């Protein structure tokens, strides 16, 4: 489990096709030094398994394999050498949850519409991010609810249900400490809806769809 608080931004060194998968190498001394083979790591919101970190070929990078399903359903399909990716290690049991519960199971990709500095700009300005989301995520989007975008725990400041667009405020720290600054209009971004919102809404829909026979129904059907 993750919390959507990005710990480091890594740089993709290579993307190599291997037996139906893609094998990536990510340069990040801060993260690679903490990994051992088999550990989980969130790469731009996608939970991957670390391969070959450690002294050979060096402690500065780790490798991971992307299954065909991962390539088809996430923004990692667009990775190339030089791409910047958000990295987060799993949250230890008992640690404070600073963001929200993020599984690393991407629901769908959205499209970055814009990332604009708040009026006035300046060196430490806030930013306004707008992302178009598909139905798989839109059904769980509510104002002031949580959403993970590229693995970042964010709060939906405005939800345009008609246009299926979420707008979120990005503080200077988030802009500087993540890969958002590298994303332009049209870029694909990984989206994961809040799991607690999913559970609440699905339970509500279950209750609404549950059939409760009335006296009139019983009489009409010969009971």
How distant, in Å, are the alpha carbons of 40, 98, 165, 203 from that of 143? Answer: 31, 19, 11, 20
Shortest CA distance to 35 belongs to which of 49, 25, 19?
Answer: 49
Active site annotation includes 112: no
pLDDT at 103: 92
Structural domain contains residue 137: yes
Final residue before a domain boundary, out of 88, 120, 153: 88
Claim to verify: residue 38 and residue 114 sit in the same structural domain: no
Active site annotation includes 14: no
Structural domain contains residue 222: no
**CATH number for the domain that contains residue 84:** 2.40.30.20
Active site annotation includes 63: no
Overall domain count for the chain: 2
Structural domain contains residue 147: yes
- Residues spanned by the domain of 49: 8-88
Active site annotation includes 177: no
Claim to verify: residue 81 and residue 127 sit in the same structural domain: no
Claim to verify: residue 72 and residue 112 sit in the same structural domain: no
* Set 25, 32, 47, 193: catalytic member: 47
* Set 33, 67, 117, 200: catalytic member: 67
* Set 49, 77, 125, 167: catalytic member: 49
Please give, one letter per residue, the 3-state secondary structure of the chain. CECCCCCEEEEEEEEEEECCEEEEEEECHHHHCCCCCCCEEEECCEEEECECCECCCECCEEEEEECHHHHHHCHHHHCCCCCEEEEECCCCCCCCCCCCCECCCCCEEEEEEEEEECCCCCCCCCEEEEEECCHHHHCCCCCCCEEEECCEEEECCEEECCCCEEEEEECHHHHHHCCHHHCCCCCEEEEEECHHHHHHHHHHHHHHHCCCCCHHHHHHCCC
Q: Name the token pair of 134.
A: 């598909």
Claim to verify: residue 144 and residue 83 sit in the same structural domain: no
Claim to verify: residue 83 and residue 133 sit in the same structural domain: no
Q: Work out whether the CA dihedral 50, 51, 55, 61 comes out positive or negative.
A: negative
Claim to verify: residue 81 and residue 112 sit in the same structural domain: no
Claim to verify: residue 44 and residue 121 sit in the same structural domain: no
* Gap between the Cα atoms of 102 and 100, Å rounded: 6
* Set 30, 33, 72, 105: catalytic member: 105
Active site annotation includes 119: no
Q: Which position has the token pair 């402690």?
A: 59
Active site annotation includes 67: yes
> Which pLDDT tens digits describe the chain residue by residue (223 residues)?
899 999 999 999 999 987 778 999 999 999 999 998 999 999 999 999 999 755 556 679 999 999 999 999 999 999 999 999 999 999 887 777 788 989 999 999 999 999 999 876 666 789 999 999 999 999 999 999 999 999 999 999 999 989 899 999 999 999 999 999 999 999 999 999 998 888 877 676 666 666 666 667 566 666 5
Shortest CA distance to 106 belongs to which of 142, 62, 76?
Answer: 76
Active site annotation includes 105: yes
Structural domain contains residue 36: yes
Structural domain contains residue 77: yes
Kindly give, in sequence order, each residue whose CB lies less than 8 Å from that of residue 170, ignoring residues fewer than 6 positions away. 115, 126, 127, 128, 129, 154, 180
């Amino acid at each position: 489990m993750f919390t959507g608080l990005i710990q480091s931004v890594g740089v993709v060194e290579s993307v190599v096709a291997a037996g139906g998968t893609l094998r990536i190498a990510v340069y990040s001394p801060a993260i690679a030094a903490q990994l051992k083979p088999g550990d989980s790591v969130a790469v731009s919101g996608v939970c991957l398994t670390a391969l070959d970190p450690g002294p050979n070929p060096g402690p500065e990078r780790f490798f991971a394999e992307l299954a065909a399903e991962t390539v088809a359903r996430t923004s990692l399909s667009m990775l190339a050498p030089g791409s910047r990716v958000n990295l987060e290690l799993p949250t230890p049991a008992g640690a404070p949850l600073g963001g929200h519960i993020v599984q690393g199971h991407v629901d769908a990709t959205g499209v970055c519409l814009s990332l604009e500095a708040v009026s006035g700009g300046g060196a430490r300005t806030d930013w306004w991010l707008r992302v178009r989301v598909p139905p798989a995520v839109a059904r769980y989007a509510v104002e002031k609810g949580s959403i993970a975008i590229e693995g970042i725990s964010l709060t939906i400041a405005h939800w345009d249900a008609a246009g299926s667009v979420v707008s979120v405020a990005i503080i200077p720290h988030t802009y500087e400490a993540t890969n958002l600054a590298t994303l332009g209009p049209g870029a694909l971004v990984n989206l994961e809806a809040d799991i607690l919102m999913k559970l609440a809404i699905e339970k509500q829909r279950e209750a609404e769809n549950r059939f409760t026979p009335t006296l009139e129904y019983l009489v009409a059907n010969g009971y």
